[in-house]
Structure 1
């Protein structure tokens, strides 16, 4: 990890004198990731108390839920399809 290597650590005091402070986050910090809040609302508001026959039904419910959240918040939603069967 470059930010914890010896050369960088030696620079920390100099940076702190300049007003630059390094803060280390946990390995995964969901509170710092805006998409996590969207997923939380999607699950709580759009998908709550629903069950799905299979993954396809769930996928369509997620797509519809994202679209609904976009309409409620007045932002545009764009669906991007990835080709998982492409050859390299």
Structure 2
């Protein structure tokens, strides 16, 4: 939430209209649904496994996401990003 002067100025007006603003901590995993999914992937799909390198871990995560999606009937889709390195 923006903490600029305009928001501070309008806050009491908004509250008078029934709009209340709540500031969340900088990191609030309880409010971020993806954190629960990652927790399940770590506990249910990856628990007890050892990985030789980052690539093996990456494939295990992909497999875990797909397995969790199938069990929960979620749509999963892999997206490849092209990274640009600045010099």
TM-score by length of structure 2 reads: 0.88
TM-score by length of structure 1 reads: 0.87
- Cα offset, 1:59, TM superposition: 0.7
CA distance in 1, matches of 2:81, 2:11: 42
Gaps of 5+ in 1: none
CA distance in 2, matches of 1:58, 1:45: 15
- Which one scores higher on RCO, CA 8 angstroms, separation ≥ 6? 2
- Cα offset, 1:85, TM superposition: 6.1
- Cα offset, 1:83, TM superposition: 2.6
CA distance in 2, matches of 1:14, 1:85: 45
Q: Paired residue for 1:32?
A: 31
Q: Paired residue for 1:19?
A: 18
Which consecutive segments of 4 or more residues in structure 1 shift more than 6 A?
A: none
Gaps of 5+ in 2: none
Cα-Cα RMSD: 1.9
Q: Paired residue for 2:79?
A: 80
Distance 1:85 1:5, change over 3 A: closer
User: In the comparison of the two structures, how many residue pairs are matched?
Assistant: 86
CA distance in 1, matches of 2:36, 2:22: 22
- Cα offset, 1:66, TM superposition: 0.3
